[in-house]
Amino acid sequence: MLYFWLICTLSATNVNYRQKNSLLQTNTYAMKRAITLAVILLFSSPLISQTTIYSTGVTFNDDWTGWTVESSSPNVDPPTYTGNHAWEFQFNGANGEPYNFKVTRNFSFTDNPLDLYLTATTQSCLISFEYSTDGTNYTVIANDSWGAYAEQTMSLVGYTSAQSNFFIRIKVEGVIGSPSKMQLKSFWMNSAPSNSVSIAPTATQNILVGANGTTLTATESPAAADSREWKYSTVSGSGYVSFAPAQTGLTYTPNFGGAGTYYVICQSVFGGVPETSNEVIINVTTAGDVNELTTTNQLVFYNNFLRVKEPQGDYEVKIYDITGKVIYSEKNLIEYNTAHFIRGVYFVSIQTGEGLRKTIKIFAGE
């Protein structure tokens, strides 16, 4: 009895081991499949990350109906539609006989750059993508030679269209084989827009030392950057350095502790790649800063009246409050009464068309 019980226990243990081993093998196989799928997705990620803006397949379901057969050799029959969004061309000539045809479609997209893909089942042929802005004059932008009868894919990555309205032509030149047909399976176009950042307003700002200028706003495209930082330089186009403390928001309000000309930019980082915006010029001056005018066009202030002495040529007068905000400006001003101002310190700047400027501090208001 003891012997029989021992045999049964060992048998059950062996069965349980085999079940666990089988389950382990199943899980290992599933894991291998998952890893394989992950690798496939990893290497196909450029396609996944793009935005499909046109497709003859399931995205748009036009099944090549928007395309026109522009021309074909006599041994190519008119195409018919088959399942799976395929456009089939039958050949009526003998094996080894050359054939050709062209199909065209007009597009209107503002997206740039573009990635183009074509999947077809064909043999012994040269397939080309051709581009045109007028539907008459075409330029070859991509081509590929295919051999044995099989499903194959041709692609063109990063093509920039010269205008938003354009034509794409698929040109096929080949030799009839067996089977005597070919299928255009699908054509699709993806948008892969470049990352960019710009800042506005773009106008040159004239502010006083320690005063706030007009707030600058960064616009990032096609989506928000992973990070950004505002920087400045005293030389246009190079030498940008960080503010202290660093400015990393979507907006920045100019404020500098020293007089001079500053060039402000925003540097945004997309996927580890930095993109730099346009520059905005900030001119910073102190009260009484000298870019002295001549003896003409001098500012005189007395008893709340601001006057321009001996006016000559074109000039502009601006009055700033203590924060650097422009509260009044007038071109070719002769006289201005500041009695309605809130009593306090103000700065008045006069600048000629030639860029000469003088700034004075006044105490105005009642």
pLDDT tens-digit map of 136-179: 999 999 999 998 899 999 999 889 999 999 999 999 999 999 99
Q: Which pLDDT value is given to residue 28?
A: 46
Summarised one tens digit per residue, pLDDT across range 299-331 is 888 899 999 988 888 899 989 877 667 889 999
Give me the CATH topology for the region 290-364: Immunoglobulin-like (2.60.40)
Higher-pLDDT residue of 353 and 13 is 353
- Averaged over 345-362, what is the pLDDT? 80
Summarised one tens digit per residue, pLDDT across range 202-252 is 988 888 887 888 999 999 988 899 999 999 999 999 999 999 899 999 999
Global confidence as pTM: 0.47
Higher-pLDDT residue of 186 and 352 is 186
**Rounded distance, CA 307 to CA 300, Å?**
5
| Identical fold between 196-285 and 290-364 | yes
Q: Which pLDDT value is given to residue 75?
A: 97
Residue 121 pLDDT exceeds 90 = yes
Write down the H helix ranges in 44-98.
45-49
Domains of the chain by residue range: 53-191, 196-285, 290-364
**Rounded distance, CA 99 to CA 262, Å?**
66
CATH number of the 196-285 domain: 2.60.40.10
CATH of the structural domain 53-191, one choice from 2.60.120.260, 3.90.380.10, 1.20.210.10, 2.40.30.10: 2.60.120.260
The residues near 341 (Cβ < 8 Å, ≥ 6 apart) are: 327, 364, 365, 366
Q: How far is CA 156 from the centre of its chain?
A: 19
Residue 354 pLDDT exceeds 80 = no
Q: Which pLDDT value is given to residue 58?
A: 61
In the structure, what pLDDT confidence band is assigned to residue 53 with cuts at 50, 70 and 90? confident
Higher-pLDDT residue of 293 and 277 is 277
Residue 43's CB: how many other CB atoms inside 10 A? 9
Burial class (CB in 10 A: 0-12, 13-18, 19+), 252: buried
The residues near 225 (Cβ < 8 Å, ≥ 6 apart) are: 195, 197, 268, 269, 270, 275
Which residues face 134 on adjacent strands? none
